[in-house]
Amino acid sequence: MKNRKFKAYFWLVLPIVLVLLVFVLITHRPKYYAPLRIADQSQISVYLSNYLMPTVYNNSQLDDPFEVVITEEGLNDIIARWRQPVKFNNITFTDPQAILTQSQIILMATAKTRFANPILTVRITPAINSFSQLNIHVDGVSLGTAGITTLTKSMGNKALTDWLAFTGTEPNNIVAQVCKSLLNDEPFDPVFKVGDKSLRICKIKLEKKKITALLLPLPDASRPASKTKPH
């Protein structure tokens, strides 16, 4: 009789304990999450307008490869000014933050729901392979300390398919390629346009609090190719 009562209590309490455990895992707030808050998000980042854009644009007019250094402080100044909040289904994302380490780029944001406001963390590692293609590997996605990588990729692929169909965007669009790399580990040719110039990302180096990218301006089809090679 006592054994039956114990089993009854056990199966009654177990779901409650599991729910509480999941809630604790999800609502855990990483101690290093400290997003930059900008009072006036309508003002463009000085780091973006006075350093990053001029550096890329001015050097793109030349034939020589050049390096661009993106600091953690500058990157956070840029993303803190993105139009917020961003809504996806019934989740509202606010207060983004980026942390740069020697091995990963860590992206974080608050995911506001009806029941809780957990911290979403995405850990990625960009790398150029032997075919000069860029892959942006997702090392993991978590809400609090609960891993949701597989679920996130599944939802992301569905959203990407819907977006491509709704907007008529070509699959070889640079934004679509970046998404497919994040979701499916599909490497792509890292060439993008700056004005009328095309640039190739040749190397990416991750360091604590900064990223260094080696960019190569590609020759116009109307003139002979430069013999300059990335160093």
Give the confidence band of 71 by pLDDT, cuts at 50, 70, 90: very high
Which domain range does residue 85 map to? 2-218
Instruction: Name the average pLDDT for the chain.
Output: 86
Nearest to 208 by CA among 118, 102, 53: 102
- pLDDT bucket at 60, cuts 50 / 70 / 90: very high
pLDDT at 40: 77
- Residue 55's pLDDT is 96
Q: Is residue 204 part of a domain?
A: yes
Which residue in 191, 197, 190, 215 sits closest to 67, CA to CA? Answer: 215
Per-residue exposure over 73-90, b if at least 16 CB sit within 10 Å of its own CB, e if not: ebbbbbbbbeebeeeeee
Average pLDDT of span 86-115: 91
pLDDT band at 171 (very low <50, low <70, confident <90, very high): confident
Q: Which of 226, 215, 168, 217 is nearest to 66 (CA)?
A: 215
Q: What is the pLDDT of residues 39-59, one digit of tens each?
A: 777 788 999 999 999 999 999
pLDDT band for 63, please (50, 70, 90 cuts).
confident
For residue 93, being part of any structural domain is answered with yes
More confident residue, 108 or 23: 108
Q: How many domains does the chain have?
A: 1
Is 200 part of a structural domain of the chain? yes
- Spell out the alpha helix ranges (H) of 111-173: 149-167
pLDDT of residue 114: 83
Say if 229 falls within a structural domain. Answer: no
Min mean pLDDT across 154-163, 181-190, 206-215 is at 154-163
Q: Is the pLDDT of residue 67 over 80?
A: yes
Residues 230/203, Cβ–Cβ less than 8 Å: yes
Residue 231 lies in a domain: no
Is 230 among the domain residues? no
End-to-end CA distance of the chain, in Å?
Answer: 79
Asked if pLDDT for residue 10 goes beyond 80, the answer is: no
Tell me which of 219 and 190 has the higher pLDDT. Answer: 190
Answer yes or no: is 223 within a domain: no
Specify if 228 maps to a domain.
no
Least trusted range by pLDDT, from 32-36, 121-125, 208-212? 32-36
- Using 50, 70 and 90 to split pLDDT, how confident is the model at 231? low
